[in-house]
Structure 1
Amino acid sequence: MDALLSAFVAAGLAEWGDKTQLLVAALAARHARPWPILAGIALAASVHAAAAAFGGIVVHDWVTIRALTLLTALALLFAGGAGLFPRKAPKLLIGARCGAFLASFACFFVAEFGDKTQFLTFSIAARFDSFAFAAAGAVAGVLTAALPALLLGARLTAVVPVRTLRLGAAASFLLFGCILALNALILV
């Protein structure tokens, strides 16, 4: 259960103000069909979370608890550092003809590939040796962050203080990353 909650919170916070949340807002404004967009995002997020969590559980058996804790601290510091810089919505390179589901899946899959959410999911799965809970928590966190963008569309940045939330999440990641790194160095 620790992996589920950790992955949910980490993924949910990491996505606020990130390019993928802005991508969801752009997709919602273009297609105005929330269910196919949500389904495409859910599928892409599931594929990424499963791949990251699988990699994490493979690594779990190869390294010590100190190294796994440092890996998680590094993932948090990376997410915090990335959150300090503003993101612009990626351009939609797929035409409107391919449909909301396919456009959402393809755009989200490409935008999320190698993103901080994958790194966080990988490190949480490795730390807790939990494939299913880490992957499920990450998908739930991504979808929770995507819902406001999906419902508000282009009005997201006007209605929600995205910059403040992004900076707050970045500060939280940096703080918890430093604390976790210090705890890992103290472990015997």
Structure 2
Amino acid sequence: MEALITSTITVALAEIGDKTQLLSLLLVARYRQKWPIIVGIVAATLINHFISAWFGQWFAGWLPTGYASMIIAVSFIAIGLWVLVPDKLEDDEADCGCYGALCATFILFFLAEIGDKTQVATVVLGAQYASVIWVTLGTTLGMLIANVPVVLMGDKLMKYVPLNVVRYIAAAVFIILGLLGIWWSS
């Protein structure tokens, strides 16, 4: 249960201001079909984050326990610093030709997540916890918590959410978790 809760909170925070949130907004503006976009986000995230969590767990198995804890803690600090850098959506990432909303969302979200901070966070969480399934479900839930309101409320939500403040709070949470991890592992 800890893996689920921690994964959900971690990814929901890391996703604030992320390019996939911008992508959600763009997809709704383009297709205006909310539920196919949400289903595409779920499908792409489940597959991408399952692979990421599995890789993190596999990688952690290769490291001595003392090193794994320290690498995970430092990774949380790095993700916290990364959260401070606002993402921008590249114009060519948004072009999906004539595909429908579901297919376009699936492809674009899957590709946008490759090397993204939420994917890195999922790898770190997979290394930290022994449950690929709970980490995958948690990180997917975190993505939905961050992206579904953007899909459903779009422009209205962005007018009232102070994105920079939320980004600073999310960064602080990651950095504090990393520092606590370093303190606990020493």
What per-residue deviation string (whole Å, max 9, x for no partner) do you get for residues 55-108 of structure 1? 12212332233222222212211211111122223431213x211011111111
Matched residue, 2:39: 39
1:182 to 2:175 alignment: no
Q: Which residue of 2 aligns with 1:88?
A: 88
Contact 1:28 1:34 in 2 (8 A): yes
Partner amino acid for 2:10? Answer: A
Q: Let me know the Cα RMSD of the aligned residues.
A: 1.5
Task: Return the TM-score normalized by structure 1.
Answer: 0.91
Q: Deviation digits for residues 141-163 of structure 1, max 9, x if unmatched?
A: 11111111111223442132222
Within a 5 Å distance, the mapping from 1:51-90 to structure 2 comes to: 51-90=51-90
Partner of 2:26: 26
Greater shift in the superposed pair: 52-61 or 17-26 = 52-61
Q: Can you list the C-alpha shifts for 1:147-186, whole angstroms capped at 9, x where unaligned?
A: 11111223442132222111210121112212212322x1
Higher mean alpha-carbon deviation, 26-35 vs 118-127, is at 118-127
2:144 corresponding residue in structure 1: 143
Off by >4 Å, runs of 4+ in structure 1? none
Task: Report how many aligned residue pairs link the two structures.
Answer: 184
Q: Report the secondary structure of 1:61's partner residue.
A: helix
- 1:26 and 1:153 in contact (8 A); partners too: no
Mapped to 2, the partners of 1:155 and 1:75 lie a distance apart of 34
Q: Distance in 1 between matches of 2:58 and 2:88?
A: 34
Residue type of the alignment partner of 2:145: T
Contact 1:29 1:154 in 2 (8 A): no
TM-score, normalisation: structure 2: 0.92
CA distance, structure 1, for counterparts of residue 90 and residue 36 of structure 2: 19
Would the alpha carbon gap of residues 77 and 53 (structure 1) be closer, same or farther in structure 2, given more than 3 Å must change?
A: same
Paired residue type of 1:179: L
| 154 and 106 in structure 1: CA distance in 2 versus 1, 3 angstrom threshold | farther
Q: Identity of aligned pairs, percent?
A: 34
Q: For 1:114, what is the secondary structure of its paired residue?
A: coil
For the residue of structure 2 that corresponds to 1:88, the secondary structure is coil
Contact 1:60/1:129, CA 8 A, preserved across alignment: no
Query: Secondary structure in 2 aligned to 1:16?
Result: coil
Structure 2 residue identity aligned to 1:51: I
Q: By how many angstroms is 1:47 displaced? A: 1.1
